[in-house]
Amino acid sequence: MQSHCTGNIKILAPAGDLLSLRTAVDCRADEIYFGLKNFSARRNANNFTEPDLADGAKYAHEHGVKLYAAFNTLVFDNEFSELRDSADIAAKYADGFIVQDMGAASVLREYGLPLHASTQATITSSFGVKYAADNGFSRAVLARELNKTQLAEICSAARELSIETEVFVLGAQCAGLSGQCRFSAFFGGDKIRSANRGLCAQPCRLAFKGDDNKYALSAPDLYLLEHLAELQSMGVTAAKIEGRMKSADYVRAAVIACVNARDNTLGSGDIAALNKAFTRTHGKGFRQSL
């Protein structure tokens, strides 16, 4: 079956479990990313066992939807055997790998699948996409904190290098630099929860005493639905939705809104459904522009 995509920019949906994966397919996502139990930046999501992944992959591929396995954490030296075990499973079903760690990339490259450089790889410039291209990556997931001018410059460089680009258009916006935040790792005391190990505790969402704005570090969520055409004109390959920790209801609302925005049929009902499915607390909604 042919891909759902009717425009040039692809809609990439999150799947924290099998229900979310099937929901994303049914709502016309073009691509889906998922994680196994280990080496995923969302280790606390339900994530996938092999039987669920086999089921989900069959359903996705029957509908022309590609799947990308997230191995987007740092990997310690003593974990490479375990990484191979997980990659052996994912490679049976996935169409590519999303990677942060360059050592992990050297292992995953052996499977012959496309490699996407994760947003955790901190690609913030044309030099970053050149490094990714030179090291065998076929797509760069750009850092979330970039502005329009920076995105346009990077996408221009990426086109010359024949490497795809991917941009988050919905979801959480980190207070730190993509892939560089150590706040969670230092904040937890004896219970170290590092974002680069898939266990971000989101301390930036907490209130801090003595500040006039107690939630000063709690950034508004990304909301770029009205800018998909602009991103497409820059040459962005895929519009990515954050949300592997969120419900299938959120995935449904987010994918429908993105698909309709791409197809120029986004309505107020789509936005209302999206806000109903997930609203950031403390009065922080969506950031409205690039």
In which residue are the tokens 């049929």 written? Answer: 265
On whether the 10-175+219-287 domain is CATH 3.20.20.70, my answer is yes
Give the integer Cα–Cα distance in Å for 36 and 17.
10
pLDDT digit string (tens) for 156-191? 999 999 999 999 999 887 777 777 777 777 766 555
Give the integer Cα–Cα distance in Å for 165 and 132.
11
User: What tokens does 23 get?
Assistant: 């929901």
Give the integer Cα–Cα distance in Å for 110 and 237.
25
Residue in 118, 89, 239, 236 with CA at minimum distance from that of residue 169: 239
Give the integer Cα–Cα distance in Å for 151 and 45.
30
pLDDT digit string (tens) for 140-149? 999 988 999 9
User: What tokens does 84 get?
Assistant: 């191979």
> Do 122 and 143 touch, CB atoms closer than 8 A?
yes
DSSP β-ladder status, 221-223 and 164-171: antiparallel
pLDDT band at 1 (very low <50, low <70, confident <90, very high): very low
Q: What's the average model confidence in pLDDT over 40-56? A: 82
pLDDT band at 216 (very low <50, low <70, confident <90, very high): confident
Comparison of pLDDT for 56 and 200, the residue scoring more: 56
Residue 290 has pLDDT above 70, yes or no: no
Residue 65 has pLDDT above 70, yes or no: yes
Domain edges within the chain: 10-175+219-287
Residue 282 has pLDDT above 50, yes or no: no
Q: What is the mean pLDDT of the chain?
A: 87
Share of the chain above pLDDT 90, in %: 65
pLDDT digit string (tens) for 224-259? 999 999 999 999 999 999 999 899 999 999 999 999
77, amino acid identity: D
Comparison of pLDDT for 266 and 286, the residue scoring more: 266
Question: pTM (2 decimals)?
Answer: 0.89
Q: In the chain, at which residue ranges do the beta strands (DSSP E only) sit?
A: 10-15, 31-34, 66-71, 96-99, 115-117, 139-141, 164-171, 221-223, 238-241, 286-287
